[in-house]
Every structure is written in C-alpha cells, then in structure tokens.
C-alpha cells in the first residue's frame, strides 16, 4: 500500500470533498478517494504551463465555425 493510501485509510471519505495538487498527487491516490465515494478538486498552478494548456483545450468551447451545418447518411452493401 502506498503512503498516500495509508494516510487515507482511517478517514471516512464517502460524501467528502478533497483538494489535491494535480502535479504532485499520484493517480492512485485520487482513484482511492473516488473508490471510497469522495469527490476531488485538483488544482493546476501557473507554474505548470503544459498541463494548464492541455486543460484549457479540454474545457474550451468547440470551434463552431468548424462544425458542418448539415450531415448526410448513406447505405453500404455487405
């Protein structure tokens, strides 16, 4: 068992909200919290430009100009 999981062991996490640093928190710690029914807020600091850029891309609204105005369907034989 990893150190983070050992520290979380005695805590009742179900229904709780935890805050974590995205850069320094191992994935398995966040997964353990989720498995125990907890939610997590993970912060991304300004000193993490590549991660901040990736998060900005994920949360950015879609470029509506690039979405086709219509769609077409067709049939393909076996």
pLDDT tens digit string along 7-57?
Answer: 666 677 788 888 887 767 777 788 888 888 888 888 888 888 888 898 888
**47-71: average pLDDT:** 80
Reply yes or no on whether the pLDDT at 65 is more than 80. no
Cα separation, 71 vs 39, in Å, equals 39
Cα separation, 15 vs 17, in Å, equals 7
Q: What is the pTM of this model?
A: 0.49
pLDDT-derived band at 1, boundaries 50, 70, 90: low
């Amino acid at each position: 068992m990893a150190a983070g999981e050992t520290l979380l062991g005695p805590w009742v996490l179900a229904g709780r909200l935890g805050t974590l640093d995205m850069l320094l928190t191992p994935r398995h710690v966040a997964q353990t919290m989720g498995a125990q029914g907890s939610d997590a807020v993970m912060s991304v600091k300004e000193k993490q430009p590549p991660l901040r850029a990736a998060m900005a891309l994920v949360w950015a609204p879609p470029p509506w100009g690039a979405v086709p105005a219509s769609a077409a369907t067709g049939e393909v034989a076996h």
